[in-house]
Each structure stands twice: as structure tokens, then as C-alpha cells.
Amino acid sequence: MIVNEDISKLGLYTGQFILLAILVGLYKKHYYLVLLGLILYGTTMIHWSRINADMFLNLDRLAAVSVFLFITLYYAVHYFTPRYRNIWFIVGSVAALMFLINESVYYCFLQHPMITGELLKTYQSFSVLIHLLFTHVLMTITYMYCSLMSL
């Protein structure tokens, strides 16, 4: 998929939330997560600067899923207080569901013969914005909030 350059720049900007989450991870001494976060940050920056490179898309997705699962299965269980653990699980579930719906609808739109040209570009941009909002922004803010509030 080739995305409009203005939209791909938003991916680079929202990717900076990952860097902020890495700093929170350092502060909280979540060193394994920091290492995974650095890998995710690198793949995200490469992917969004070269948006049509499928190899980096797959590496970025693998890194993102690894970070999400590591937080969910390890850090949320061992380091978040029950209240913030619940917040993480709820927000993570909503974000994962939105990701799946967004991807499914996007690929259905790609298959439809009537959706071409400007309509397809508009939907691609909308789909990418949903992705950026729910993954880059919402999940990193939620990690930072839950981590910092779990004293």
C-alpha cells in the first residue's frame, strides 16, 4: 500500500509517542520493554518514512504485537496495580478490536471494484488515521499512564 506523503508524515510524528513511552519505561526500570520499544521505534520510523516497503511493514507489525503482548502478559500483570491493569486490558481490547475492524474493512474496500480513485485515497487516509490514533497514540499514552500511576 502506498500512502499519501502527508499521511505518512503523521506516522512519523505519532511514532514519537513510542519514544516517550520508552522514556517512561526507563524511568520505571522496565528494561526488557525498553529494548523492545527501541526495536519498535526503529521499525516504525523506517516503515513510515518508506511507507511502500512491505518488509518493514511486517517487521513493524511483529514488533508492535510483541510490545503489546509483553505489556499485557507481563508488565500489566506484575507491575500495574489492579485498577490500572483493568484500564490497560480494557483500552488494549478496544484498540485491538478497532485494529481488526479497521484492517478488515480496509481490505474489503480494496476488493470492491466500485471503490477507486479519489474515494479509495480518501478511505486509505481515513484508515491510516484510525490506525495512528488507536495504536501509536492511544496505546502509548495508556501504557505511560498506567505505568506511572501504578506506584
Residue 135 has what pLDDT? 92
Model pLDDT, residue 62: 94
Across the range 81-101, mean pLDDT stands at 96
Contact yes or no for 142/87 (Cβ under 8 A)? yes
Tell me the mean pLDDT in the region 100-114.
Answer: 80
Confidence of residue 2 (pLDDT cuts 50, 70, 90): low
User: What is the distance in angstroms between the CA of the first residue and the CA of the last residue of the chain?
Assistant: 42
Query: What's the one-letter identity of residue 62?
Result: L
Q: Are 10 and 133 in contact (CB under 8 A)?
A: no
pLDDT at 53: 65
**pTM of the shown model:** 0.89
- pLDDT tens figures, 16-53: 999 999 999 999 999 999 999 999 999 999 988 876 66
Q: Give the pLDDT score at 27.
A: 97
- Residue 11: pLDDT above 60? yes
* Lookup: cell for 70: 509483553
Within 34-132, strands assigned E span none
pLDDT, greater one: 79 or 123:
79
Amino acid at 110: L
Q: Using alpha carbons, list the distances in angstroms from residue 25 to 7, 9, 69, 136.
A: 28, 25, 15, 16
- Going from N- to C-terminal start, the domains of the chain cover 5-149
Give the start-end residues of each E strand in the chain: none
The model's pLDDT over 56-76, given as tens digits with 9 standing for 90+, comes to 888 999 999 999 999 999 999
C-alpha to C-alpha distance for 35 and 139, rounded to whole angstroms: 17
pLDDT confidence of residue 1: 57
